[in-house]
Amino acid sequence: MISIKKLVMVETILFWLSVLLIFHSYVLFPVIIHLFSRHKKNNQTIYNTTDDLPYVSVILSVYNEELVIEQRINNLLRTSYPLEKLEILIGSDGSTDHTNELLQKLKQQFTLLRLFLYNERKGKGNVLNNLVGEALGEILLFTDAKVEFSHQTVFELVKNFKNQEIGIVGGNIINRNSNKDGISIQEKNFMSREIMIKYNEGRIWGSMMGAYGACFAIRQEHFVQIPENFAVEDFYLTIKILQKQKRGIIELNAISYEDVPNQLNEEFRRKVRISSGNFQNMKAFSHLLTKITALSFCFFSHKVIRWIGPFLLLIAFISNIFLVSKGIFFVLTMAVQLLLLITPIIDFFLQKIHLHIITLRFVTHFYSMNLALLIGFVKYLKGVKTNVWEPTTRSYQKI
């Protein structure tokens, strides 16, 4: 039988291991790469506007985007990038609203628009695979319907590909929605922090941990087919390119505007879908965890620990229960954990009386996103049958 002393030792190790891993991913790792990147420069080998720029294929998979699709196309056409070096490929994934009609109308006005209208849902990954197979561009620029580029976004992404070491460039996503009655402030802060972490990863090692699907560009030669029913294709493509010894960076001047959902239930649904895809990626690239490289370090520190976060939180809580009798320190840590766990409940009832405390909402956001990861893991275990999904409600504001 295991002695009580050994049990206490195991519980103590589990508690500290889970706490330290969470601390490393959310606090220590960002600080480390910030310090290491202070004197590093982003890619300096770039195209000038007067250079012979590469031909670019803009790739969009859309579904029921009648409210924004016309604005989105017009926004893309207002680019500073030479239009003779640009084509826009749009795959309508079985849209049932007026998206297809609007696209066909726009096609009559703009010859650089190429349409692929599918009668049945194929899933985003399959649509992207098909569109890339039709693309003529040396550079593939992936984006979404509910995003808005600045005039310079396309050029700011593409300029970096003069450097042959660069394989993928992610854009700087800026969320404009900031309402204290929901989670948009928390999402905005989370996104901006993630962008800077990825920017620093790129500056130090060229190991940006996942471009955002709303705005990123790659060389056509580096595209790989997105696997069937894969839910998070942008991360998959990023790591595949980094594994080819190509650099991945964030270009902060390649600005894209996107308004996140303000309602927790909308963003929660999206996070659950993304979470199932995260575990697909963790399995696909699990071999990186057996290596000691910059890519592996970033993958483990920035992504894997976050993805297993719900289990680390559970381990910390359960082990703490058994350690409460071992001293005042563990009584205090138990009290802190209990307070954090009931904070979302307190926040919920305060919302009912229209009282919004931003600090409490950050705690709610953290735990709800970890719950989404847990549900996403269950969905992953059951098997991801399709990557067909319903878009969340997001606004599109004209700048």
| Number of Cα atoms under 13 Å in the Cβ half of residue 190 | 14
Residues 206-242 pLDDT 10s: 999 999 999 999 999 999 999 988 889 999 999 999 9
Write down the pLDDT at residue 399.
Answer: 41
**Res 393 pLDDT > 90:** no
The chain-wide mean pLDDT, for the chain, equals: 92
Least confident of 10-24, 133-147, 166-180, 315-329: 166-180
CATH number of this structure's domain 56-294? 3.90.550.10
Other CB atoms within 10 A of residue 196 CB? 17
Q: Which position has the higher pLDDT, 395 or 35?
A: 35
Q: From edge to edge, which strands make up the β-sheet containing 215-219?
A: 113-118, 86-93, 56-62, 139-143, 215-219, 166-175, 247-258, 148-149
pLDDT of residue 355: 85
pTM: 0.91
Mean pLDDT of 169-185: 85
pLDDT class of 183 with cuts at 50, 70, 90: confident
Residues 107-138: pLDDT tens digits?
Answer: 999 999 999 999 999 999 999 999 999 999 99
**Model confidence at 395, in pLDDT bands (50, 70, 90)?**
very low
